[in-house]
Structure 1
Amino acid sequence: MTPTPRLGLERISKTYAGSPAVRDVSFEVDEGHVMCLLGPSGCGKSTLLRIAAGVERQDSGVVRVDGRVVSGDASHAPPEARGIGLMFQDFALFPHLTVAQNVAFGLGRSLNGARSAVVGQYLERVGLSGYGAKFPHELSGGEQQRVALARALAPRPRVMLMDEPFSGLDQRLRDSVRDETLALLKEEGAAVLLVTHEPEEALRMADRIALMRGGAVAQVGAPYHVYNHPVDRKAAAFFSDVNVIHGEVRARQTDTPFGLFLTPGMVDRADVEIIIRPQHLKIEEDRGAPPPSTMRTGVPARGHVTRARFMGSESLIEVRMDHDGSLLKATVPGAYLPGAGAPLWLSLRREHCFVFPCERQSKVGNPWEDDRDRSGKRPG
């Protein structure tokens, strides 16, 4: 028997002043799982979080917690009646209360008896034993975030809603605090809905990612799937820089300076974009003759370095291609800094390429021959 999802949103829509903020969004979050709403500012992810919390009410759709309707056409439960924990980016600690009093706030105002024991337990779990008498201003940002986590977890919520809770931390602390928080949330077994605009954070923390755009979900799936099988060019580009190579379909193939790419399912004369991330371009120095082509890498194409930069763990090389003057970016591990003007050969690692209809105006109406799913990788 399939367990009931801890949190379920069904066909949620919300409009502000005639402008749609959320459009027909549905998803579920299971016990012990982290669902990440990922997208740029203004895409509707924080609105969805507030609707799940009960702070906002949707115009249409249903919110369920453990299968029970907490918000629909006929009823709307307030946040305190939903068994939901909340964490925000500003921590929202009470400055006039001690650490222990902040943690106890969700349990009641008294620190006597069992409540005091629960407070001590959760302060210990977040590594802040002995901090109960301190005030928030006496703590570092990472310590304040841990207090906010302890306060949210102490009532043992069935669902945890987190709105960019790590954005106020400096980069040095962020990774360790995220990892510690994720471990605690998994131990508690709460269903977590996390809002972020940072792809790295979503990949690091989520069991599933819902990539949002314009108030709707553009793609949803496991982090590996969303990253390696983007639904379109914008989805691929949200996670990293991409190179775009344009072509035109002829007999289900597209001819490029890197050789022929298979473009099954697309009609002749359709404009296509071949997308490849910088780390999947292979660089070889020009030694007087092009490197041999292979089934995997195709035909090498020549260009000249315009700029090379050391980025710490890798180097970024920008190459102006001889065939059309386009600029492609490649990354290589470690330090590799060829001088400006140095000739290089680039090859594509075809298993990492994506082929999509061109986002600019095409010469044909519908580039597809039929209505099959277009969300997967299309190798050459």
Structure 2
Amino acid sequence: MSAAQAAANDTAPRLALEAVSRAFDGTAAVREVSLTVEAGEVVCLLGPSGCGKSTSLRIAAGVERQDAGRVLIDGQPVSDDRGHAPPEGRSVGLMFQDYALFPHLTVAENVAFGLRGRRARDRQAVVADYLLRVGLKGYGEKYPHQLSGGEQQRVALARALAPRPRVMLMDEPFSGLDTRLRDEVREETLSILKREGTAVLMVTHEPDEAMRMADRIALMREGRIVQVGAPYHVYNYPVDRKAAAFFSDLNIIHGVVRDRQTDTPFGLFLTPKMRDQADVEIIARPQHIKIVEDAGEGGTRPLVTPADGMPAHGRVLRARFTGAQSLIEVTMDHDGSVLKVTVPYAWLPEPGTPVWLSLRRDRCFLFPCVNQRVVETPWAAE
């Protein structure tokens, strides 16, 4: 390797997909996907089933070959129109949801599987080290069927990490675990990967998992990456309504722009960037609507801050306690629409209870209606 190549490698992303595309039987599964992962970074490919995220991961691994585009590791192509390196030639670790442990091999033999070609003493030392790291010291002579699901997942992690891969590729690795165990193993895995400084590309369809695990989230839809950013940014600045809806329930208030403002049950919203007479949707998450119980049949309107705007009146349709919060559905007097509100405590008002609602304007999103052919560019409603 030349000095120039070495210098380029030092500054290049650990993993890069460049305009990668793949089709099956004429149907596009991945469309011009470009993404980078730095050393020590966790990037989550997030999206619904069938959006192309697992195919993208398989292309990065070398299990699948793209029809167009390139895959690079440390700045060096490992798959392009001139050549294609197999998984074992890419220094990548693979973890899947079924763990893929060899049932006839002991835990130690499973972990050592990727260390073939090394001296026996070296293999034993590496296996012991990684079993210690994943909290399985003394488990080397056991077989996979003697382990719990969480322990099997840790063995799979140790096996993937033992060869010291530069890139770890993970496809729904925690989906087979129950909720409490999943949280525990996920946090342990993240801690180990961060200490190793490994570049991690992980596929998941669960927004909560991506928010917990990722340094950056790449949101996929219909084979394309539609938004990339830190979890906070993707959640709070969604590129369109579908992106916002992937992370939580939404309340959608329809309106029509007139003279650069839109009338709603919560008062006028400034919409200066929308054309006049455009149909628009003002989007609010349930936790960003405040609720005040009405003291008496449409009585005195509650005082609100300027950021909350005008309150709107409605009646409780139903209320449910979900454990961490209460979900209240309210039928609005203005137009009969139903808005969802969450409160961080147990509160179960009777159906028909009159309430006032106010809206956090600084937490609303404004988009053209989905049936309009307008470029969707969000901004906080003012």
Taking structure 2 as the reference length, the TM-score comes to 0.95
Deviates more, 1:40-49 or 1:286-295: 286-295
Residue 314 of structure 2 aligns to which amino acid in structure 1?
G
Partner letter of residue 206 of structure 1? A
Give SS of 1:41's match: coil
Q: Which moved more, 1:25-34 or 1:288-297?
A: 288-297
In structure 2, what residue type is equivalent to 1:149? L
Q: Retained in 2: the 8 A contact 1:21–1:44?
A: yes
Counterpart position of 1:201: 209
**Counterpart amino acid of residue 92 in structure 1:** A
Alignment of 1:69-84 (within 5 A): 69-84=77-92
Shift of the 16–206 alpha-carbon distance from structure 1 to 2, 3 Å rule, reads: same
2:343 paired residue among 308, 332, 339: 332
Residue type at the aligned position of 2:272: P
Q: Tell me which residue corresponds to 2:54.
A: 46
The reply to whether residue 291 of structure 1 matches residue 326 of structure 2 is: no
Q: 1:378 aligns with which of 365, 377, 380?
A: 380
Residue 57 of structure 1 pairs with residue 57 of structure 2: no
Q: Secondary structure at the match of 1:132?
A: coil
**In structure 1, what is the Cα distance between the partners aligned to 2:221 and 2:279?**
24
Q: How far apart are the structure 1 equivalents of 2:230 and 2:118?
A: 43
Corresponding position of 2:322: 311
Which of the residues 138, 154, 161 maps onto 1:146? 154
Task: Give, in whole Å, the separation in 2 of the partners of 1:56 and 1:11.
Answer: 15
Equivalent residue for 2:250, pick from 242, 259, 282:
242
Contact 1:281/1:330, CA 8 A, preserved across alignment: yes
Indicate if the aligned counterparts of 2:240 and 2:378 stay in contact, CA closer than 8 A: no
Residue segments in structure 1 that go unaligned for 5+ positions in a row: 369-373
Q: Does 1:98 align with 2:106?
A: yes
1:347-367, Cα deviation, whole Å (9 max, x unpaired): 00111000000113x4xx64x
Query: In the alignment, residue 36 of structure 1 is paired with which amino acid?
Result: C
Shift of the alpha carbon at 1:293?
3.9
1:14-49 Cα offsets, whole Å, 9 max, x none, are: 011111000011011000001110000000000000
Report the Cα distance in structure 1 between the residues aligned to 2:117 and 2:149, rounded to whole angstroms: 25
Tell me which of 154, 163, 166 is aligned to 2:171.
Answer: 163
8 A contact 1:10–1:61 mirrored in 2: yes
SS of residue in 2 equivalent to 1:181: helix
SS in 1 for 2:29: strand
Pairwise CA distance, 1:264: 2.0
Of 117, 126, 137 in structure 1, the residue corresponding to residue 145 of structure 2 is 137
1:214 aligns with 2:222: yes
State the alpha-carbon separation in 2 of the partners of residues 340 and 110 from structure 1. Answer: 70
Gaps of 5+ in 2: 1-6
Divergent runs of 4+, >4 A = none
Q: What is residue 277 of structure 2 aligned with on the other side?
A: 269
> Greater shift after overlay, 257-266 or 203-212?
257-266
Asked if structure 1 preserves the Cα contact closer than 8 Å seen for 2:321 and 2:348, the reply is yes
Distance 1:117 1:375, change over 3 A: farther
SS of the counterpart of 1:51?
helix
1:173 aligned residue (181, 189, 203): 181
